[in-house]
Amino acid sequence: MWEENLLSQLRSRYAPRRRRRQDSGTSKASKRARKIPVPADEYADPDRISSLPDNVLRRILSFLDTKYAVATSVLSTRWKDLCISLPNIVLDDSLTFKKRKKNFEKAFEKFACKQIVLRNVPNINQFRLKCNFIEDSTIGDIVCAAICCKVKEVDLWMGDSTTVGILPLELFVCHSLVVLKLRAAVELFVWEYVSLPNLKVLHLVDFMLDGDRSMNRLFQGCKFLEELFLSRCSFGNNRVLNLSFPLLRKLSIDYGDGHFMDFLGDGNAKCKLVIDTPNLEFFEYHCHENEFHLVNNLDSLVRAKISFISKLKKWENVSELFNKMHGVKSLYLSESALEVMYSNCSSLSVFETLTFLELSAFDLRILPNILERAPQLEELVIHKHGFDDEAVLYTLPETLPVCLLEHIRNIEFKKFIGSEHDFELVKYLLQNGKVLKRMKIAGLGQPTSDLSTSTSKKISMFPRCSETIEIIFEYDDQNLEFSP
C-alpha cells in the first residue's frame, strides 16, 4: 500500500536523532546531582490532575490545539506518552510563537509531520489544519501525512494569504475519509479521478472551482454523502449542477454575504439545479433564483428554510421546489419567498403535514393563504420587519382556517412594533384560536417604558377564544411578564 510506504518514509525523515552518549563519570555525577531530596510540604495541594486515568487525560488534551498539548510533555514521561496517543490533531500556524523566523514554514511543517507520523496509535480520528502563512506544497505534505494514518475527518481552513490551489490527489482518493471540510478563498483544482466511497459529510466554503465540470466531477466521486454544505462557492461556468445522492439527508446551499456574484448564477437563472435526493430530511436554500428540477418528491423532508437574495423573476423556476416539498413538517420562509408565493397562490400545493411555520416578512398578505394550505399547523412564528399597513388591512378573512380552529397551540411575534394592524392581527388570532395555549409577544423594548406598558395592557384586554391561553411579554432585557 502506498500509505504504508509513504508513512515509513516520513517516519524515517522526522524520527528524533539519538544523542551522543556522555562520559560515564559525568553521567553518574549528573544523575547523583539530580537526586537531591526535596523536602515534602505536608500542606501542599495534591496533584489531582495526574491522578486521573489516562483515558480522561487524553479526553482533556484532545480539546487543546496540538501545540499546547505537546507542551505538557515536559511534565513527565507519562504526559509525553499521552501526547503521542491523542486521537485528534489540531494545527494552527497562527499559534506558532516564532512565525517571524525566516525558516518558519519549514519548522511548522516539521512540527506538524512529527506529531502525525511519530504517534503510537495507528489511526487519526480528526485532523484540523488552519493556515494563513504557509504555501500549498507544505499544506500538501502535511495533509498526505495525515492521510497515511487513515484519517476519518479532515478540516482544512486556508486563509486569504495562502496560495493553495492544488490539494494532493491522495485527499481525493482517501477511502478512510468520512468527513471533509474545506474552506479557502482561492481557486480549487479538482482532479479527474475522485474516489471517496466512505465520505458522509462534505462542506465547501469560499471556493472558486476550476473548470466547467469540477463540482460535478467531485460529486460523482462521493455518491454516498449524507450531508452537503455549500457556502459562498463559485462554480465557474457550470450551467447544470447535479445533486444526485441517494442517501443524502441534509443539504444546505448558502450564498452568504454575496462575495462571489456568480454563485449559482447572477439572479437570471443561469444555473439549473437537478436534485435527486429521495431521503432528504433537511433543506436550506439562501441564494439567487435558479431553475429547479426535482427528480423525486421530497417525501422524507422534515425541515426546510427557503430564502431568495433577490426578487424572483419567474415563478416557473421555483414552483417545482415549493410544490414537491408538500410533506415538510417545519418550514421557514423569507420575505422574497413569501412574495413570489403570494403572486402565485392558486398554484400552491397543500402542506399536508406542516406543523411548524416561521415567517420573516414585511408584508403578510400571504398568511391566510398559507394557513388555509396548512391544516395540521400547530406552531406559528412571525419575525417582523414592519408591515405594509394597506396590505395587512385586508388579510384577516372571516372564514377561519382549519388549523386555527383545531390545531394551532403556540404563536410567537418577534420584534413586535405595535402599529394599528399589529394589534389587529394579534386580536384576530386571540379571538379565533380555539385551542391556543400560548402567545408570546417579543421585542417590546424596556419594561419600564410607557410604550411597553401600554402595549402589554392593551393586548391583555383583548377577548380570547381559548380559556387556557397564556400570554407572555418579552422585553429587551429578557424579563418576562405573564398575562393569565
Say if residue 261's pLDDT is above 50.
Answer: no
Query: Mean pLDDT throughout 412-430?
Result: 84
pLDDT at 242: 83
CB atoms < 10 A from the CB of 214, how many? 21
Three cell numbers, residue 189: 483544482
What is the rounded (10 degree) CA torsion for 370, 373, 378, 383?
-10
Say if residue 63's pLDDT is above 70.
Answer: no
pLDDT at 12: 59
Per the model's pLDDT, the better-predicted residue between 32 and 9 turns out to be 9
Q: Is the dihedral of CA 181, 212, 267, 341 positive or negative?
A: negative
pLDDT at 263: 45
φ, ψ at 362 (rounded to 5°): -100, -35
CB atoms < 10 A from the CB of 42, how many? 5
Distance, CA of 30 to CA of 188 (rounded, Å): 56
Query: Mean pLDDT throughout 232-259?
Result: 78
Query: Mean pLDDT throughout 412-434?
Result: 85
Per the model's pLDDT, the better-predicted residue between 48 and 381 turns out to be 381
Say if residue 268's pLDDT is above 70.
Answer: no
Say if residue 477's pLDDT is above 60.
Answer: no
Q: What is the pLDDT of residues 439-450, one digit of tens each?
A: 998 876 665 566
Q: What is the pLDDT of residues 283-293, one digit of tens each?
A: 998 876 666 67
Task: Tell me the pLDDT band of 310, cut-offs 50, 70 and 90.
Answer: low
pLDDT at 269: 42
Q: What is the pLDDT of residues 102-128, one digit of tens each?
A: 566 677 777 777 777 776 667 888 888
Distance, CA of 394 to CA of 364 (rounded, Å): 10
Query: Mean pLDDT throughout 188-210?
Result: 85
pLDDT at 157: 86
Query: Mean pLDDT throughout 458-476?
Result: 87
Query: Mean pLDDT throughout 149-153?
Result: 90
pLDDT at 360: 87
pLDDT at 484: 58
Distance, CA of 20 to CA of 32 (rounded, Å): 20
**Average pLDDT score, the chain:** 75
Per the model's pLDDT, the better-predicted residue between 91 and 30 turns out to be 91
pLDDT at 96: 59
Three cell numbers, residue 40: 515534602
Most confident of 2-11, 261-270, 410-419: 410-419
Say if residue 39's pLDDT is above 60.
Answer: no
Q: Which CATH class is domain 326-484?
A: alpha beta
Task: Tell me the pLDDT band of 390, cut-offs 50, 70 and 90.
Answer: low
